[in-house]
Amino acid sequence: MTRVIYVNGRYLPYHDAKVHVEDRGFQLADAVYEVIEVSDNSLVDATRHLTRLWRSLSELSISPPMSEPALRHVMGQTIRRNRVRNGLVYLQVSRGESPRDFLFPDPPVPPTLVCLARATIPAQVDQRAETGIHIITMPETRWKRCDIKTVMLLPACLAKQQAHAQSASEAWFVDAEGLITEGASSNAWIVDRSGRLLTRPLDNTILPGITRRTVMDTAASLGLVVEESPFTVAEALDAAEAFITSATNTVMPVIMIDGQRISSGTPGPLCRQLRRSFARVAEHSPVGYVPSKLENQAFAP
C-alpha cells in the first residue's frame, strides 16, 4: 500500500497528496512520466529511464524539476518511506500550475514533480509469465509523437479496458498499413517460424521502451540476433512465439491473440530464456545509490 507520496518538495500522507486543479498535467496532459521497476531493493535500469525522462522533458521544453542525483534521492526516500522492496516507482513531471491557457506560461512556472512507490508481489508476475497472457489487436488511435512518454493515456486506457472486457490483459495497436505498432503499455515482439526475433524499429510511432533496449542487450548476450522490423497481425498469429516487454512485466509471454492460440498456446523457449536472463543484463542500482559521476552535481532535494 502506498503510504507517502512526494509532491513538490514534501513527503505527504497518501490522502493529502494533491496537485492544483490548474496544474497543466491535470487540465492539458502537459506532463511526462516514468515507471521504474524496484527489484529486491534495487532500481532496474534507472540510468536509462532517467535519460529517457530528460529526453521527454526536453522534447516538450519543460525544465527538469531538479538534478538527476536529487531525483534519485527523492526516489530512494519515497521507496524507503513506503517500505517497498519489490514493486515500482512512478515519477511525473508537469509543466506546472498556471491559469488555463494553451500557450506555455511566460515566464515559465516551476514544474510539478510527483513521485510515488508501490509494492508488487514478484511471485504473482512470475505466475502470469508461467501461463502467458491473452491480448487483442485494435486500430491505432494515438497521436504522432508516441516516442515521448506523456501522460496523455486516454487511448491506452480505452484499449486496455476493451482488452479487459474481452478477458485479455493487453491490446496491440495496428497502424494504417496493418503493421503492429506496440502495446497500450508495452512493446510488441514475435519470434517467427524461421526463428527470427522481431520487434518494430524505433520512430515516432512507438515508445523507445527501456525493457525493449535491455532485452536487445540480453538477446545479444545469448548470441541471438534481434531484427528491428515491423510485423503484421497475420505474422503475429502465425508466429512461433509472441511476447511483450515493459518495466513492470520485463518479458511476458503472449499465448493468445484475438482469441487465436499462438503456436502450441504455451510460453515459448526463447521468450523464457530472455525472461530468465534479463536480470543478469539489466542495471541494478541499490535504492538511494547515486553513481559517482553524478555525485558532485548540484543537490537540492
Any idea which residues carry the catalytic annotation?
Answer: 149
* Minimal distance, residue 12 CB to ligand PDD, in Å: 22
Binds ligand PDD by CB under 6 A, chosen from 4, 66, 148, 247:
247
Residue 98 or 218 with smaller CB distance to ligand PDD: 218
The Cα 81–Cα 14 span in angstroms is 12
Instruction: Decide if residue 91 touches ligand PDD (CB under 6 A).
Output: no
Q: Which is nearer to ligand PDD, 137 or 245 (CB)?
A: 245
Examine residue 207 and tell whether it contacts ligand PDD (CB under 6 A).
yes
Report the residue from 245, 254, 277, 290 that binds ligand PDD according to the rule CB under 6 A. Answer: 245
- Binding part of the chain for ligand PDD, among 1-9, 21-29, 194-202, 241-249 by CB under 6 A, reads 241-249
Using CB under 6 A, which residues numbered 100 to 129 contact ligand PDD?
Answer: none
Which segment (58-66, 181-189, 272-280, 289-297) binds ligand PDD by CB under 6 A? 181-189
Antiparallel, parallel or unpaired: β 250-257 and 87-94:
unpaired
The CB-of-36 to ligand PDD minimum distance in angstroms stands at 8
Stretch that binds ligand PDD, among 62-70, 193-201, 246-254, 292-300 (CB under 6 A): 246-254
Indicate which single residue of 182, 236, 242, 268 sits in contact with ligand PDD (rule: CB under 6 A): 182
Cβ distance to ligand PDD smaller for residue 94 or 98: 94
Confirm or reject binding of residue 218 to ligand PDD (CB under 6 A). Answer: no
Q: Which residues bind ligand PDD (CB under 6 A)?
A: 35, 182, 185-187, 207, 209-212, 245-248
